Chains A and B, each alone.
Chain A
Amino acid sequence: MTSNSVFTRYLPLLLLAILWEVAPRLHVVDPSELPPLSAVAMAWWGLLTDGDLWTNGVSSFINWSFGLGGAILIGIALGVLMAWYQTVDDVASPLVKALYPMPKSALIPVMILWLGLGAGSKIASIGMSCLLPVILSAYNGARGVDQALIWSARACGASEREVLWEVILPGALPEILAGIRNAVAISFIVLVASELLVGQRGLGYLISFLGEGGVYDAMFAVVITVSALGFFADRAYLYFMRRTLVWRE
């Protein structure tokens, strides 16, 4: 893409940004309800330099990575186990399918009840919410592996462990990676929601703290930051996913 076509492509965003700056300045909208973009940028710089953004960002990142990471590891293990053993499948899959459509946000109050107001309940909420999509994708992926591949691996004398690591897991990988992308999106929703609800730390907490204090330019700055993090997490994951699946054509 030439620089000119990139400019035309993203011109609408630039126009929106200009509108955001000009409309509150001319009092077309109330500047207390929509602070001008430049004020938001200044507030963002302020939060960045006095460290608020860092400390809260780090604590959000810890919750997010533990919750999502745990869900990915446990989810893949459970999903493959379900696909591998008929008995596990028979027992677990009705449960997984019954719980899958449950709105994930409903788990947050129970996790607070069990684990209190600190990081534990947030990690657990994120983990529980991301678990089912990962389980289901690993299960579907592992079941979808071509049976002929497994037979030929066995015929070549592969042990069960080798079949698992070198046939089932690579074969299930595309579905697993797609499921994880789903889980990444959910993890951000639950992270922000759980921090908005209760807590003393984290970006979600910072948003609600600034909002309640009426510091709206800074609140907008944190909202934009969280959105940008969610966006770039998705893009980075997509890039990683394409790189990983290069061998599949």
Chain B
Amino acid sequence: MERVESPWRRRILRSSSVVILAAAWEWAARMHFVSDFLLPSLSTVLMRLWSDIVSGDILVGLGLTMARTFAGFSMAAVAGVIIGVTISRLRFVRWFFDPIVSIGNPLPKIAFLPIFILWFGVFDWSKIAMVAFSSVFPVVVATWAATESVDKYLVWSAQSLGVTRRQLLWQIVLPSAMPEVFTGLQIALPISLIVVIICEMTMGGQGLGGSMMTSMRFADSPGVFSGIVAIAIVGSALVKLMELLRARLLVWHQESARR
């Protein structure tokens, strides 16, 4: 009997879990198993989220958080790709960066936060610098590995057709490294978001993390929970966005044809 399950049963089960969880949350809060303060009901949280959207509060916070995320992330992306490419092409650069990358990559970069506050103040620059510092390493590592492992036959055939070094870089090495580089960026973006939120929570300065912390200090638990819901939505949206972007940018690559 187990083997011949109807697809309907599975489909219902699959879509039911979120509904069941939502219903359980609402029910538990309504029955006052725990106090309203510890677990405000889902409807309260959603109403709060909605009123924050209508009043524009959340849009300001979202805008600030996104601006910081993308400012730091794009710095990390540009610097990471440049460093990664030069590491695999220039021996001197590799000599210099190899120990730095191999030690810097597994470090818990968040511990440097107070140093960044000391150097860049408590406003936007320290947050942006922190994001760039935390997310540059995965990009460097991915770019380095990708440009190093470009198919030799591609390079040889291009060279036998007489390309210059510059053409080789732009038309062979970079395009064929693209999928792996993009994977590095897909690792770096969630890190950027995590770090931005931690920075906003510790330093203030509004944003989604900052307003969550403010709500917590004022014991405004619907505010904390609506913050979590908003951040969760933003997180999934960014991951989804990167997947779409990948499919679009790499439409010429074999990986897109496989589907």
Contact = CB atoms under 8 A, between A and B. Distances in A.
Interface of A: 8-13, 16, 33, 86-87, 90-95, 98-99, 101-110, 112-114, 185, 188-189, 191-193, 196-197, 204, 207-208, 211, 216, 219-220, 223, 226-227, 230-231, 234-235
B202 to A, nearest CB: 5
Nearest to A204: B111
Contact of B106 (A92, A113, A192, A231): A231
B224 A188 contact: no
A204 B202 CA distance: 12
Contacts of A106: 197, 208-209, 212, 227-228, 231-232, 235
Contact of B201 (A16, A87, A197, A211): A197
B146 to A, nearest CB: 20
Contacts of A207: 111, 114
10 contacts: A12-B97, A13-B99, A105-B194, A107-B228, A113-B221, A113-B224, A189-B198, A192-B110, A223-B111, A227-B112
B67 interface: no
Contact of B17 (A94, A196, A226, A227): A94
B18 A219 contact: no
Given A12-B99, A105-B201, A106-B231, 13 more contacts: A9-B98, A10-B99, A16-B100, A33-B119, A94-B15, A103-B193, A103-B194, A104-B194, A110-B225, A114-B38, A197-B202, A219-B114, A231-B106
* B20, B107, B231, most chain A CB atoms within 10 A: B107
B218 to A, nearest CB: 11
A223 B112 contact: yes
A204 B114 CA distance: 10
Interface string B3-41: 001000010011111101100000000000000011000
* B193, B194, B197, B224, most chain A CB atoms within 10 A: B194
Contact of A109 (B21, B97, B213): B213
A230 B232 contact: no
Interface in B201-249: 201-202, 208-209, 212-213, 215-216, 221, 224-225, 227-228, 231-232, 234-236, 238-239
Given A106-B228, A109-B212, A113-B224, A98 B18 contact: yes
A157 to B, nearest CB: 21
A33 B116 CA distance: 10
A226 B231 CA distance: 28
A102 B232 CA distance: 5
Contact of B108 (A12, A99, A108, A230): A230
Interface residues of B, number: 59
Contacts of A33: 118-119
B34 to A, nearest CB: 9
A207 B116 CA distance: 12
A25 to B, nearest CB: 18
Contact of B110 (A10, A95, A193, A211): A193
B96 A105 contact: no
B17 A91 contact: yes
B231 A189 contact: no
A65 to B, nearest CB: 15
Interface in B163-190: 190
Nearest to A8: B95
Nearest to B224: A109
A193 B113 CA distance: 9
Contacts of B20: 91
Contacts of A204: 111
B236 A98 contact: yes
Contact of A99 (B37, B113, B119, B232): B232
B197 A208 contact: no
A193 B202 contact: yes
Contacts of A92: 17
Contacts of A101: 190, 235-236, 238-239
A131 to B, nearest CB: 15
Contact of B13 (A16, A87, A193, A223): A87
Contacts of B198: 105, 189, 193, 196
Contacts of B197: 103, 105-106
B5 A86 contact: yes
A185 B100 contact: no
A137 to B, nearest CB: 15
B110 A189 contact: yes
Contacts of A219: 114-115, 118
A93 B239 CA distance: 17
Contacts of A113: 37-38, 216, 221, 224
Interface string B88-103: 0000000111111001
